[in-house]
Amino acid sequence: MSEKPRYYITTPIYYVNDDPHIGHAYTTLACDVLARFKRLDGFDVHFLTGTDEHGQKVEKAADVAGIDPKAFTDKVSQRFRDLLGAMNFSNDDFIRTTEDRHIASVQAIWARLIERKEIYLGSYAGWYAVRDEAFYGEGELTKDAAGQRLAPSGAPVEWVEEPSYFFRLSAWQDRLLKFYEENPDFIAPNSRRNEVISFVKSGLQDLSVSRVSFKWGVPVPGDDAHVMYVWLDALTNYITAAGFPDTESEMFNRYWPADLHMVGKDILRFHAVYWPAFLMAAGLEPPKRVFAHGWWTNEGQKISKSLGNVISPYDLVDQYGLDQTRYFLLREVPFGNDGDFSKSSMISRMNNELANDYGNLAQRVLSMITKNLDGQMPAQGDFTDEDKRLLEAATSLPEIVRPLMDAQTFHEALERIWVVIRASNAYVDHQAPWVLRKSDPPRMGTVLYVLAETIRCLAIMTQPFMPESSRQMLDQLAVPPDGRSFSSIATNKLMPGTVLPRPQGIFPRFSDEEASA
Ligand code: ME8
């Protein structure tokens, strides 16, 4: 028996200093769609998300809230967990960095790095941005009008001087460059890959990996005056969830190295430079790929709490519907680019692409079967070239969409599915089954069969993006639950005579008043 190929995909683990917003939902959505796609394509998928709970930033947020960090992280981490249900995310595991399994794992990677002499004790004097939990060199900083020094991200920096353990990052420069060269797909998109390579070429300094000035972190084994740098702690979550430190386990051998770490462009350096260096230094394999997606703005403005324009995923789902929100986020912006959220473009996509193109296609075909054929799937009859062309376009969708998903070009994958949706609408108009009803009933049956078959393929393909709406569509075609994987497209055709349930509209239209509200 052949074993299923495996696919291990991760989101960043989110800081619990604040509530989840659209940016967090976006990254996890991209992973959810990939995880669902791979499951339907026959993979054994492990999809991980979670929360990053240590460090100064979270400690300070707990302090502001007036509760101890553990109680604070319990509370906020739960909100990230709640989002999973609200967005219909299908993660297999949720990791918190405050869990025992993770603390044991971080201490084990530390021990490996010490044993291999990759970490030494020194002292740090330099700039630190708590908001980014990152160290910066003087040359990277700018000053604002008040003279406050700022990191390239805009975060204020403070001077830090304290004893610290260092990771010998400088010694990894050449090996990292060689690794990028030998693994051209490791960093995507390509423009980001070039940025990382030029950063590494410009020279790497040893990295401070412990702090003594606060307590909210994993203690350094054997020297508990120090807590570990939150990024060493956080990145390690990806191997903790694969069973580290038990590198002999079936789980670890099965899932590590991860197939894809999905991240926002803000944290690419940590994932594409520090993380493979930590892993190689610890004698472990680096992940296969890191994809850095772009940044959302709201009606042209940066999303920030202080501007009061944070977009809540809950509000979007309430207002527009869950699958509509999922569709919009991945269709609107070429994945990898920055994108702007605008209400008018959300409504226009929902009305044009979901309600008119897709929903209306299913609704009119299924209603014709109900009205004219007593709700029974017609006999297929003889296919014309035009019938064959449409069926061929629909059944070849897995082959067309698969490489696009492997390249994380979700917008193109959706566009290719919509090419078939638009072709189906053109086919209905051209074949005019409502005319055939009188002139040639058997031909009407064939046309409706071709259309129902095409909709079956389309609904199977849209499952990763819009799981609930696609499920309803497949239910309305009486497709059994075990006939919904990609391989069923070719093998489980609709059976003439099958009785279909009464069709119901799936994608509502937004009226002009709602659109302008
Ligand atoms: O960086 N647009 O956590 P974080 C798009 N704990 N994506 C956005 C976004 C926006 N406006 N805002 C946030 C951390 N994101 C670390 C990660 S991983 C080992 C540790 C998404 O809570 C995007 O994926 O600040 C970004 O990389 C991530 O949230 C940052 O989440």
Give the tokens for residue 234: 């956080």
d(Cα 298, Cα 425) in Å, to the nearest integer? 34
Q: Which residues pair with 208 in a beta bridge?
A: 166
CA distance 110 to 371: 69
* Atom of ligand 1 at shortest range from CA of 27: 24
Counting ligand 1 atoms within 8 A of each CB, the residue from 73, 267, 279, 311 with the most, and so the one to mutate, is 267
Is the Cα dihedral 343, 348, 350, 355 positive or negative? positive
Q: Are 460 and 489 in contact, with CB atoms under 8 Å apart?
A: yes
Task: Report whether 43 contacts 6 (CB < 8 A).
Answer: yes
Rounded Cα distance, 72 and 96, in Å: 13
Q: Which residues contact 224 (CB under 8 A, 6 or more apart)?
A: none
Query: Tokens standing for 284?
Result: 């472990």
Question: Could you give the CA distance from residue 95 to residue 234 in angstroms, rounded to a whole number?
Answer: 10
Other C-beta atoms lying within 10 Å of the C-beta of residue 178: 10
DSSP code of residue 262 = E
Q: Which two tokens stand for residue 189?
A: 């998109």
Question: Residue length, the chain?
Answer: 517
Q: Whose CA is nearest to atom 8 of ligand 1?
A: 23
β-strands 93-96, 44-52 pairing: parallel
pLDDT of residue 513: 67
Rounded CA-CA distance 182/390 in Å is 42
| Pocket perturbation via mutation, ligand 1, pick of 11, 19, 52, 192 by most ligand atoms within 8 A of CB | 52
Ligand 1 probe mutation, 131, 239, 263, 275, most atoms within 8 A of CB:
263
Instruction: Look at residue 1 in the predicted model and tell me its pLDDT.
Output: 42
Give the whole-angstrom CA distance, residue 507 versus residue 500: 19
Measured from CB, residues less than 6 Å from any atom of ligand 1 are 12-15, 23-24, 26-27, 52, 234-235, 237, 263-264, 266-267, 295-296, 303
Q: Give dist(CA 161, CA 406) in Å, integer.
A: 45
Q: How far is the CA of 131 from the centre of ligand 1 (A)?
A: 12
Q: DSSP label at 373?
A: H
**pLDDT attached to residue 100:** 98
3-state DSSP of 77-140: HHHHHHHHHHCCCCCCEEEECCCHHHHHHHHHHHHHHHHCCCEEEEEEEEEEECCCCEEECHHH
Q: Are 72 and 62 in contact (CB under 8 A)?
A: yes
Q: Which domains does the chain have, with CATH numbers?
A: 6-294 (3.40.50.620), 343-516 (1.10.730.10)
Work out the end-to-end distance of the chain between its first and last CA atoms, rounded to an integer number of angstroms: 57
**What CA–CA distance (Å, rounded) separates 383 from 386?**
8
The span from the CA of 315 to the CA of 226, in Å, is 42
Which protein residue's CA is at the shortest distance from atom 7 of ligand 1? 23
Secondary structure of 445-466 in HEC code, one letter for each residue: HHHHHHHHHHHHHHHHHHCCCC
- 335 C-alpha vs ligand 1 centroid, how far in Å? 15
220 phi/psi in degrees, rounded to 5: -70, 125
Quick one: which of 69, 301, 123, 114 has its CA closest to 220? Answer: 114
DSSP structural state of residue 353: I
Spans in the chain with pLDDT lower than 70: 1-2, 512-517
Nearest protein CA to atom 3 of ligand 1, as residue: 14
Residue whose CA is at the smallest distance from ligand 1 atom 13: 23
CA 169, CA 391: separation in Å to the nearest integer? 55
